[in-house]
Amino acid sequence: MKQGQVCQVQIMTPPKSFALFCLNHVFNHVAFVRSVMMARKFNISLVVAALSLITRILPVAVAVPDSVLRARHVQTPEELRDSYDYIVVGAGTAGLTIADRLTELPERNPSDPNGDRQTAHLYNLTSVPQIGLNNRTIPLGMGFGVGSSSAVNGMVVMRGTVKDYGIWDQLGKNGSNWSWKELLPYFKKAPSLFTFRHEMRNPFCSPEPGTCRGLQHYAWGQYNDTRLYASFPGGLNPAIRIPLPADGHAGNHGVFYYPLSVDPKTRQRSYSRTGHWDGLNRTNYDILTSARATKIVLSGENAATGVECILTDTESSCESQQRSCDIDRSHPYASASATERSPCILLKKAKIPFKPTWGGCELSRSPNRTPYSVQFYKTTPTTYLELDPSPAQRRTRSRSGGRSSTPHRGTICLSRHRLFPRSPGSSFFRSTRHRQLRSPRLQSPKNLLAEQMLSSSPSSLSFLHWVIGYGTAPGANLINFHPTSRGTVSVDPDNIDAPDPVVDYRALTNPVDTDLMIAYLEFYRRFFGPEGPLAGYRAVEMAPGAKVTSREDLAGYIRTNYIPQAWHPGGVVDDELRVYGTRGLRVADASVIPILPGGTTQLTVYVIGEKAADLIKKTWKGKGGKGASGGKRGDKNR
């Protein structure tokens, strides 16, 4: 090891295997945690699970009781071992999952969930001014700390639809299967990490699609709520053609309730740290805190051989070596952070050959699977009260298994439905104006997106809505997980060593996105209007306001209110998560999602972590490894 300005973590031929995290805290009084995990492998490979580009970093203590933390906590370069089999950069949702799986041991202590949402633990980064949004800059949603974004997120647990993952699969070229069927085993694994606020016997109602016994499983707990259903005699379907799937986690769209990853008794957050780190008893797993990975070291043949990082408290350096590595980044905005954190734009610059397929060039530069979220309806206080269930509705709730508790002031449910159930429907996208949805390449994410938008099939793309009350506010909140404008995350061309990425959402640069939002607004006007299924709520439109009707005015409202991110960005790599043109370098985090699923992302990211670990384990075969099942590595309780 050597001291200096830079911490270099290199990985050598593995005498021992382990995981190492670099946890950093950053400027502006905001603590950052970066992590580098090094995990054991039988042969050679490095996994970096998250990089990002933050400048100055302050050390931050990680509040983990010794009794809980069993992975070796490394705080100085001197404590690093000479070599590691894997390095995982990023102690986030995917990174912790991968490190856990690569270091699995038979013993596992029960989790000790601690720490609720720490909203202050968000990186203090903003995008460049957005031309399409009246030059507003948009804060980036990205958590730091052990657990990172899963430690600060809204805890909504959702799967995407069968179609969502089908698109991923269609985009794959290397034979790695990302279909619903392939991912289902990983989805089933993830719930064991969570304790849920909704005390359901089976939190997902059905590990197997279609085996759920009823909506009531989702209809109690925080939202105490069958009111929505009571509001729609005959269900939503006749009114707005939105189905009510019996199982919200069986890959369908429709209106359903969802669980939260919160312990129902203690109300403590259940997240990647409690599920994948606390309580681990691993001698092959080290974690380095207060360090920021700055560069992935590549050999002459573009083989990843190590990681350089800065120890943020002492500004000292560390160094180790490795024969080869799989590098897995574990945060979308990390994609452009270290020098070789390059998406396609940097690969091009470096003249590294790549095939823009699964996580193609366009997407890899893009954080722009950015949801749209605008609250545009509110109810008056009078109407507010009327949201409480009637005696009849209470009886309905009771019959359906819901709990009797203080009536919530609004009804919350999740609607994931296809575009524009009544109209303009598919014809909306067939207009000349929307031909620009398509791209010249046939099997491109953009084309598949367009195809789904144009489709009238019930399995086509779905969009997400929280209806009547997002959080505690009455109203509606809609999220578009399928924007067509593509953004970029890149290094600063004027300062390639700058730690912060340049993030440009390029929000609303494709006019289709504005048209989508206008159509959404109009849909909600129908939905809440006197002729709509929620007429009984007598909702009053507060914003944009009933007077805002022309396309021009609605577009103006959207420009000033549109938020081109709702904490679920995405972007990078081929379908085996390898960075094009390199060896031993993988990215596994939310950024690899080629097209966002129509749902919140944390569960999908856990699945990506699980799949990444299996992809890596496959390379153990024939090299002294035990293969994907991990042999002795498997904890019994998984």
Question: Would you tell me which residues interact with ligand FAD (CB under 6 A)?
Answer: 22, 32-36, 50-52, 89-95, 141-144, 148-150, 152-156, 158, 292-293, 330-332, 334, 337-338, 567-568, 589-590, 600-603, 605
DSSP string over 282-334: -TTEEEE-SEEEEEEEE-TTSBEEEEEEEETTT------B-S-----B--GGG
Where do we find the tokens 């800059």? 137
Provide the minimum distance between the beta carbon of 547 and ligand FAD in the complex, in angstroms, as a whole number.
Answer: 33
Among 293, 327, 296, 341, which Cα is nearest to 490's? 341
Provide the minimum distance between the beta carbon of 555 and ligand FAD in the complex, in angstroms, as a whole number.
Answer: 28
Nearer to ligand FAD, 169 or 589 (CB): 589
Q: Which two tokens stand for residue 197?
A: 């606020």
Provide the minimum distance between the beta carbon of 56 and ligand FAD in the complex, in angstroms, as a whole number.
Answer: 13
Where do we find the tokens 């909704």? 198
Nearer to ligand FAD, 39 or 91 (CB): 91
SS (H, E, C) 330-350: CCHHHHHCCCCCCCHHHHHHC
Q: In 10 A of CB 418, how many CB atoms?
A: 25
Nearer to ligand FAD, 119 or 406 (CB): 119
- 432/380 Cα distance (integer angstroms): 41
Q: Are 459 and 163 in contact (CB under 8 A)?
A: yes
Provide the minimum distance between the beta carbon of 150 and ligand FAD in the complex, in angstroms, as a whole number.
Answer: 4
Nearer to ligand FAD, 292 or 323 (CB): 292
Residue 613 half-sphere exposure toward CB, CA atoms < 13 A: 30
Nearer to ligand FAD, 240 or 607 (CB): 607
Provide the minimum distance between the beta carbon of 185 and ligand FAD in the complex, in angstroms, as a whole number.
Answer: 19
Provide the minimum distance between the beta carbon of 177 and ligand FAD in the complex, in angstroms, as a whole number.
Answer: 21
- At 195, the amino acid letter reads T
The three-class DSSP label of residue 183 is helix
Provide the minimum distance between the beta carbon of 80 and ligand FAD in the complex, in angstroms, as a whole number.
Answer: 15
Provide the minimum distance between the beta carbon of 572 and ligand FAD in the complex, in angstroms, as a whole number.
Answer: 11
The three-class DSSP label of residue 215 is helix
Nearer to ligand FAD, 60 or 512 (CB): 60
Q: Which residue is nearest to ligand FAD (CB)?
A: 92
Cα separation values, 159 from 27, 59, 231, 583, Å = 35, 36, 26, 31
Nearer to ligand FAD, 286 or 515 (CB): 286
The three-class DSSP label of residue 411 is coil
Nearer to ligand FAD, 33 or 219 (CB): 33
